[in-house]
Amino acid sequence: MVKETLRAGQKPTKAQIKEIRAAEKRTVTYTDDAPRLTSEELAEFKQINAENRPDEKKGDCHLLDR
């Protein structure tokens, strides 16, 4: 697994852009452990996440590749 972090205001490298473009083409596989969420469930998750991580910098992007 590869993890990359882009900080707010940081421009991605050509290699990072290539990885992002490749990730756009991948299909999402939903499972019992990772089911598809409804819009309501996603809205709830975002609220909880914001409450649990108030000090996290907005705008950072974490890319994971397996």
Render pLDDT for 4-53 as a digit per residue (tens, 0 to 9).
777 778 888 898 889 889 988 999 899 999 999 999 888 887 666 666 66
Reference 42, options 32, 31, 50; nearest CA is 50
Residue 12 CB-half CA count within 13 A: 16
CB of 65 closer than 8 Å to CB of 19: yes
Give strand ranges (E) for 1-66: 2-6, 61-65
The answer to pTM > 0.85 is no
Residue 34 CB-half CA count within 13 A: 3
